[in-house]
Amino acid sequence: MAATPVYLDHAATTAVRPEVRTVLQTWVAETANASAAHAAGRRVREAVEEARERIAGVVGRPTTDIVFTAGGTEADNAAIKGIMWAARERGRTHMVTSGVEHPAVASACQWLAEHDGATLTVVPPRADGTVDPEQVLDAVRPETALVSVMAANNELGAVNDLASLAQPLRDRAIVLHSDSVQVAATHDLRDLPADAFVISGHKIGAPQGVGVMVLDQGVPVVPLLHGGGQDGGLRSGTFAAALDIALGVATVAAAHDRDRLARDAQRQTDHLAASLSALGGVTRNGPVDPVDRLPTHLHVSVDGVSGPELTASLDRAGLHVAAGSACSTGSASRVVAACGILADAVLRLTVGWSTTDEDVHRAAAILSEVISGLRSESRPLRIFG
């Protein structure tokens, strides 16, 4: 019988936690709209509001800062577009972002610049994928309304220094938004010094298709969606009650599991890095100092093999990993290019709350066998004369 594949793509999506499955099953069976005035509706609404309280507690913000969305992409778009639309009314139309943002941020900013009268400065990353706060601050102007810099990059796992941005931006009345999707599993979001940030449920053990925008109440914003006025008018649409409740449970579970996960992940990604490095011709990308990178992420360049061939061979051998980012459909990674990484192949290996040491040992063996095998196949034939 073929062995179960090893899944090391937790940055793309991680497993739903068992306690989350249970609440999801319970609440998906409820027939009531959380906005209905009858008893059934009020019961669902209470559970949604309890989920909001749980999330607010974990991120250390008032419940009025928590807006439920259909995931990280919607939350990023709602924050970026909403803040820019509100700022336009005050004559501020410029925004600054970085060259390593996820498309949920990069494309939203690009769209505003191309179709909506905004001006945009994109600050290139350093070679390790981090963004230099000085360069970001140099890019702001009197008409800057918004700076959006991700808390950590989804490909390289590079963690950004937001603390150096927060106060200088506040002094200039510029809103700081941060795409915090990738840090939520291992970092305490109470420490995030941003006026607006986001959680994507499927990165922390909730199902796909739910998230939150965390938005400081003092930040003027125009809603992205208009309709029934749910969520304080900031996000119209019937509450996705079962998903919102599941996210509340997942957020608390992830916060309890955070330190354990960070410790285990560090050990596991270090083990993978060491066994890959023993093969030769493999370079670890991203920040050198472990405090500047997510413990869950390992990004490497592999010489002497073709990228698509490597991913396909690993897949056949039962190891699921990402080449670049699974969230984008293009083959070449913008982030890898922006960081000037030149390689025959790049791999992103990411562990999560359910990854075992056994998974990691099996993955290391598969990587070694596949890379060595491909390299020996591609060695040029010797002509004996």
Has 327 been annotated as catalytic? yes
Residue least distant from ligand PLP (Cβ): 72
> Can you tell me the distance from the alpha carbon of 319 to that of 30, in angstroms, rounded to the nearest whole number?
38
The least distance separating ligand PLP from the CB of residue 376, rounded to whole angstroms, comes to 35
Question: Running DSSP on this structure, what letter comes out for residue 330?
Answer: S
Strand, helix or coil for residue 347: strand
Strand, helix or coil for residue 333: coil
Q: Of 159, 215, 217, 165, which Cα lies nearest the Cα of 185?
A: 159
**Segment 84-123, which members bind ligand PLP (CB under 6 A)?**
102, 104
Q: Which is nearer to ligand PLP, 151 or 255 (CB)?
A: 151
Half-sphere exposure (Cβ direction) of 7: Cα atoms closer than 13 Å: 11
Give the one residue of 77, 154, 301, 350 binding ligand PLP; rule: CB under 6 A.
154
- Residue 296 binds to ligand PLP (criterion: CB under 6 A): no
The least distance separating ligand PLP from the CB of residue 43, rounded to whole angstroms, comes to 28
Q: Are 123 and 152 in contact (CB under 8 A)?
A: no
Six-digit token string for 123:
């600050």
Six-digit token string for 125:
């990353």
Q: Whats the size of the chain, residue-wise? A: 385
Question: Running DSSP on this structure, what letter comes out for residue 168?
Answer: H
**Segment 197-216, which members bind ligand PLP (CB under 6 A)?**
200, 202, 211
Give the one residue of 327, 343, 369, 372 binding ligand PLP; rule: CB under 6 A.
327
Q: Exposure pattern of 121-148 as b/e (b: 16+ CB <10 Å)?
A: bbbebeebbbbbbeebbebbeeebbbbb
Q: Is residue 25 packed enough to be buried (19+ CB in 10 Å), middle (13-18) or exposed (0-12)?
A: exposed
Q: Of 126, 171, 170, 164, which Cα lies nearest the Cα of 293?
A: 126
Give the one residue of 97, 98, 130, 182 binding ligand PLP; rule: CB under 6 A.
182
Which residues partner with 302 through β-bridges?
Answer: 282, 345
The catalytically annotated residue of 32, 327, 343, 365 is: 327
The least distance separating ligand PLP from the CB of residue 199, rounded to whole angstroms, comes to 9
The least distance separating ligand PLP from the CB of residue 74, rounded to whole angstroms, comes to 7
- Residue 73 binds to ligand PLP (criterion: CB under 6 A): yes
Interacting span for ligand PLP (CB under 6 A) from 179-187, 237-245, 315-323, 365-373: 179-187
- Residue 148 binds to ligand PLP (criterion: CB under 6 A): no
Give the one residue of 6, 122, 139, 181 binding ligand PLP; rule: CB under 6 A.
181
The residues that are catalytic are 327
Q: Which residues here bind ligand PLP, judged by CB under 6 A?
A: 71-73, 76, 102, 104, 150, 154, 179, 181-182, 200, 202, 211, 327
